[in-house]
Amino acid sequence: MPAWITGEAIWTWALYGAILLLTAKPVGIQLYRVFTGQRTFLHPVLRPLETGIYYLTRVDEQEEMSWYVYLLATLAFSFIGLFLLYVIERTQQWHGSLLNPEHLPNVSQFLAWNTAASFLTNTNWQNYSGESTMSYLTQMAGLAYHNFVSAAAGIVWAVALVRGLARRSGKTIGSFWVDMVRCIVYILMPITFFYALFLVWQGVPDNLVSPTIAHTLQGGVQTIAQGPVALQEAMKMLGTNGGGFFNANSAHPFENPTPLSNFVQMLSIFLIGSALVYMFGRWIKDTKQGWVIWGAMFVLFSAGFFFAVGFEQAGNPVIAAKAGVATRKTANQPGGNMEGKEVRFGIVDSAMFATITTDASCGAIIAWHDSFTPLGGLVPLTNMATGEVIYGGVGAGLYGMLMYAILAVFIAGLMVGRTPEYLGKKIESFEVKMASIALLISPANILIFAALAVMGTWGTASILNPGPHGLTEVLYAFTSMNANNGSAFAGLTTNTNFYNITGGIVMLIGRFLFMTPLLAIAGSMAGKKTIAPGLGTFPTNGPTFGILLVAVIIIVAALTYLPAYSLGPILEQLQLHAGILH
């Protein structure tokens, strides 16, 4: 067995996979019942709240929308939310002593816009330190609010796409308002409530107290920030938002105090994404279809984890060769590459957290990805570049994966002369055009803006490390923003007008322009009649389709991004082995 496959890596992966598998079905059933309007065990308590919201907002529970109206409702709701958050940030100085005890000033214009676009799109890219920039009111009414609604929006778009695929004929794909209310009331709110209590039990603060001033033994002064952390932390992980209350994110002991809280945080990132895949199978009355996609996701997750932990455990060859430092794990030291890692978590947890947070669109971190070995850092980068379809952001993972599934059946049809069909519906030119547009939006968004950044000092002045690592920093930033991930590679100063403006645009495109053709597919598929499988039908509920799906994702990502990665992390790793440092 290679030295990098440690026992700790294997049992952590196995335990994580087993618990994730066990949660998929029960949570998936709850999701299915909620979005099909069936009664759940929470109805006696929460149904009055749901109907009360419909009454106050004059929403007709029975009225459904076409895909275009669904999209317009999404955009209108989202952009009003963006402006509200912007106003909250720009008026901080009037938030009062209770909700702004440190009297933090208004957030500057372009930073406020970038942050508003960031939280609206579920990215939570942060060009600021939360504890020293945002008032408690901004954290609670602005950022935590968007943690809820942006997560719910992602989930309901996936639900709308599933409805479109599952319906036998029709013109509507559900109601955006009803889906949003049900998602928040029956899914996000109850889980987050108990999750936040769990975090408080583990040691996460949740108060409105001013920072504590501590005097150290050396006579220094420490300002220990705190605030309404636990609830925001719970939603940050469950909703794959990722924006930390503190700058150090989940590496901060007030966000992630214990090994148990760390494991639960990792689990909660995938919880809804994994369950949505089961819900998909249940909805189309063929759970095998769901499990095939779930299996493809787990294979990709496992490959990413072992690749990352392998390179991190192997460590930096230059340090081993030139400084004579032992990089092999022993009973007394962790070995490998510990730079930029929180010692409480070590290599395995850091590699696993990095893999999970970028498989999903979470972006929370417990280690600096910038300090990973070049190929270890390639894993989070590739995960985001493929569209985060490995369980993915809540909802976003499933609708991204279904886009790949449509492409996979089309490619299979071309290769072996089968009729392109998915779930009994013919895949025609419109669906392939829409899936191709969605597929092309991401690389265009990432590569054009990254190229723009390295063309002049407006972008290059922010780069900390010269050489290929600097290019990786820029690539990572735009990949993360496009994928609505929000994790930063670090090493790139992005609180500049250039990065604030371009970053905001990239995040909006990565979220809304990408999702538009997928909702169009939902509308188109909803209107198609289901046909019985024939001899020419390529079965999509077996392992052959699972393998094809994984291959399509890997090949598409490799072909699109390999040239850029060759100049960044791949070149850097080769230079390390040649002893070249920048």
Residues lying near other proteins in the complex (CB under 8 A)? 68, 71-72, 75, 79, 82-83, 86, 90, 109-110, 113, 428-430, 433-434, 501, 504-505, 508, 512-513, 516-517, 519-520, 523-524
Q: Shortest gap between Cβ of 244 and other proteins (angstroms)?
A: 25
Quote the tokens at residue 155.
């989930």
Select 154 or 468, whichever has its Cβ closest to other proteins.
154
The per-residue DSSP string of 433-463 comes to HHHHHHHHHHHHHHHHHHHHHTTSHHHHTTB
Select 19 or 501, whichever has its Cβ closest to other proteins.
501
H helices present in 251-323, as ranges: 259-283, 287-314, 317-322
Q: Give the burial class of 495: count Cβ atoms within 10 A of its Cβ; 0-12 exposed, 13-18 middle, 19 or more buried.
A: middle
* CA of residue 523 relative to chain centroid, distance: 25
Instruction: Return the bridge partners of 224, or none.
Output: 212
Sign of CA dihedral 523, 388, 283, 550: positive
Q: Shortest gap between Cβ of 515 and other proteins (angstroms)?
A: 10
Select 191 or 434, whichever has its Cβ closest to other proteins.
434
Nearest alpha carbon to residue 165 among 30, 11, 290, 303? 290
Spatial CB neighbours of 9, under 8 Å, sequence gap ≥ 6: 305, 306, 309, 313, 348, 351
Strand (E) or helix (H) holding 190? helix 189-202
Select 86 or 298, whichever has its Cβ closest to other proteins.
86
Q: Shortest gap between Cβ of 529 and other proteins (angstroms)?
A: 13
Select 307 or 512, whichever has its Cβ closest to other proteins.
512
Select 173 or 297, whichever has its Cβ closest to other proteins.
173
Q: Shortest gap between Cβ of 79 and other proteins (angstroms)?
A: 5
Q: Shortest gap between Cβ of 437 and other proteins (angstroms)?
A: 8
Q: Shortest gap between Cβ of 111 and other proteins (angstroms)?
A: 11
Instruction: Return the bridge partners of 221, or none.
Output: 215
The amino acid sitting at 492 is: L
536/527 Cα distance (integer angstroms): 22
Quote the tokens at residue 58.
């004059």
Select 366 or 434, whichever has its Cβ closest to other proteins.
434
Q: Identify the DSSP state of 510.
A: I
Quote the tokens at residue 175.
């109601």
Select 89 or 342, whichever has its Cβ closest to other proteins.
89
Select 284 or 509, whichever has its Cβ closest to other proteins.
509
* CA of residue 517 relative to chain centroid, distance: 20
Select 109 or 493, whichever has its Cβ closest to other proteins.
109
Nearest alpha carbon to residue 397 among 362, 446, 372? 362
Q: Shortest gap between Cβ of 100 and other proteins (angstroms)?
A: 20
Q: Shortest gap between Cβ of 156 and other proteins (angstroms)?
A: 17
Quote the tokens at residue 219.
């006579």
Instruction: Return the bridge partners of 426, or none.
Output: 421
Q: Shortest gap between Cβ of 393 and other proteins (angstroms)?
A: 19
Q: Shortest gap between Cβ of 82 and other proteins (angstroms)?
A: 6
Residues 381-391 as b or e (16 or more Cβ within 10 Å = b) = bbbbbbbbbbb
For 12, phi then psi, to 5°, come to: -65, -45
